[in-house]
A and B are shown apart, each in its own frame.
Chain A
Amino acid sequence: MESTYRIKGATGDWEVVIGLEVHAQVTSNAKLFSGAATAFGAEPNSQVSLVDAAMPGMLPVPNRECIRQAVRTGLAIDAQINKWSRFDRKNYFYADLPQGYQISQLYHPLVGEGAIEIEDGDAVKTIGVERIHVEQDAGKLMHDQHPTRSYVDLNRSGVALMEIVSRPDMRSPAEAGAYLTKLRSILRYVGSCDGNMDQGSMRADVNVSVRKPGDELGTRTETKNVNSVRFVMAAIDHEAKRQVAVLEDGGAIQQETRLFNPDTGTTRSMRSKEDAHDYRYFPDPDLLPLELDDAFIEECRASLPELPDAKRKRYEALGISAYAANVLTAEVESARWFDALLDTGAAPVAAANWVTSELFGALNRLGTSIVDSPVEPGQAAELLALVADGTLSGSLAKQVFEAMLETGDAPGKIVEERGLKQTSDTGAIEAVIADVLTKNPKQLEQYRGGKETLFGFFVGQTMKAMAGKANPQVVNDLLKKALAS
């Protein structure tokens, strides 16, 4: 798939080249190198060990689970797993980094080349992943608590991150958005990161350059810490246009670090970090190389769940539309719920249509998510079965579903208690039809005079008189007969 996205400049069209470095917080109980907790929202500095506070003499010991989750993530994107990797120190000074260096992996990352497929309409494009390495997160600074001081909370200091570095394979804000969305979905399926971007569990550094189509790569800028899909797309859009304007004015792009301002949708230079790129990396003498055996890697592989692409293909093979399959697999919780529904033996296509329209519609209306759905998959299966065997019409099923949402009761109980059963009793329906025809002589005359569109009117009147409980197919058949006689 060749992207046709172009920035229109005064001198012609420009192509945008994008690479993303995504920092994903690894889901774990304890930190990467210490036994302090990682939970979000704790009292300041309550989840800090002497290792995280960088007290002299403290030694880091890696958390096996963090390594395992990074390996599982690598396997999920078909990446090479490096059985021998090593930790390096990245040296810089900042108030949120007590060690004066971040333990990271520059020279020998844990995970090598992989790939992620993204879709744009019907087209599929493969985005290369160069590497995934594990590293420590920094602490958090708060600037709005005091007129002249910044507050430092080290709870996040030392929490494990995966840095997932893409190839510069994206060519439009939409492709970058699709990549980030897909990556988030994979991480959440794997369970290696919760993907909560609003809590900072996933943040992206956005590398952007522009060039005339076919030219060599231009100089790139890096916009740091962008924390939503929408902001990543906005940052690319702004940064690409800014670069085109600079170049067309006869200027040159400085390779630099920039900041995105979500309020204005613009980026600006971080001038204070001029020296920041001289990190003087060297192997961390506190840590031996990380060596993994085959058994460890095989356990990681065996523990992987069905991933979104495979699940989508399986759903489509069941006859579910590509659209519905996409909607159902985008979030792991939806997919789990739907799988539970399928496990009850529900007909896949009817179930998919019901979940994507009725259930998602209701959850949306109630402002809740599938995790807190008031209706369980088992109850939904019962409802669908009642529709399938003709007990409930479509409109009755909607009424029963509403009652399920309100009461949490099983559909069978609601049908019984409220008498919502659909009737196919031809005698009762015929009697109502006769009554409807008697009460509407004018419409009857018009219909028989050739205005056949009035058929729907009679159906409506009959259904109304029967409080929606008549089997629509039976009503249709009997009405046709009555009107013809």
Chain B
Amino acid sequence: MSVDTATVKRVAKLARIAIRDEEASRLAPELGNILGWIEQLGEVDTSSVQPMTAVIPNRLRLRDDVVTDGNIRAQVLANAPQAEHGFFTVPKVIE
């Protein structure tokens, strides 16, 4: 599968990664190679194989409905670039 630079730019934009035109041109064939390799895996017939979710038999653990966390506002806000009155603040995003 070939990846063009427009696709690279679009995926980068969706992931909020800033890339320059020359980077997009360089990444396009690299990503194309990776997808080609994945496509090669697709040649194996796996129609009768259940997707493996873990290498050891393991079940999803569930938690009891008990409040055990929270009230750590200072910690939660510690890394915020800007906070006021207990809120994170961000550049105004209004629809």
User: Which A residues contact B (CB, under 8 angstroms)?
Assistant: 28-30, 34-37, 43-51, 53, 61-67, 91, 93-95, 141-143, 145-146, 148-154, 259, 270, 272, 275, 278, 280, 287-291
B79 to chain A, nearest CB (A): 8
**CB-based contact B66/A29 at 8 Å:** yes
Closest residue of chain A to B61 (Cβ to Cβ) is: A61
B7 to chain A, nearest CB (A): 12
Closest residue of chain B to A95 (Cβ to Cβ) is: B90
Residue in B53, B68, B87, B91 whose beta carbon sits within 8 Å of that of A45 in the complex:
B87
Interface of B, secondary structure class, is loop
A184 to chain B, nearest CB (A): 23
A281 to chain B, nearest CB (A): 12
User: Which B residues contact A (CB, under 8 angstroms)?
Assistant: 13-14, 16, 53-54, 58-73, 75-77, 82, 84-95
Q: Given A29-B65, A61-B61, A291-B60, does the pair A46, B70 have CB atoms closer than 8 Å?
A: yes
Closest residue of chain A to B86 (Cβ to Cβ) is: A44
Residues of the A chain whose Cβ atoms lie less than 8 Å from the Cβ of B82: 149
**CB-based contact B67/A94 at 8 Å:** no
Residue in B62, B77, B85 whose beta carbon sits within 8 Å of that of A63 in the complex:
B62
Residues of the A chain whose Cβ atoms lie less than 8 Å from the Cβ of B67: 29-30, 35-37
Residues of the A chain whose Cβ atoms lie less than 8 Å from the Cβ of B85: 44, 145, 151
Residue in A30, A66, A152, A289 whose beta carbon sits within 8 Å of that of B87 in the complex:
A152
Cα distance, A287 to B94, chains bound together (Å): 33
Residue in A53, A61, A141, A153 whose beta carbon sits within 8 Å of that of B62 in the complex:
A61
Cα distance, A289 to B16, chains bound together (Å): 29
Cα distance, A93 to B85, chains bound together (Å): 24
Residue in A29, A61, A152 whose beta carbon sits within 8 Å of that of B90 in the complex:
A152
**CB-based contact A43/B92 at 8 Å:** no
**CB-based contact A288/B58 at 8 Å:** yes
Closest residue of chain A to B71 (Cβ to Cβ) is: A46
Given A62-B63, A63-B63, A289-B53: 15 more A-B contacts, CB < 8 Å: A30-B63, A35-B63, A35-B67, A35-B68, A44-B87, A45-B86, A45-B87, A46-B73, A48-B76, A95-B93, A148-B92, A149-B84, A149-B89, A152-B89, A288-B60
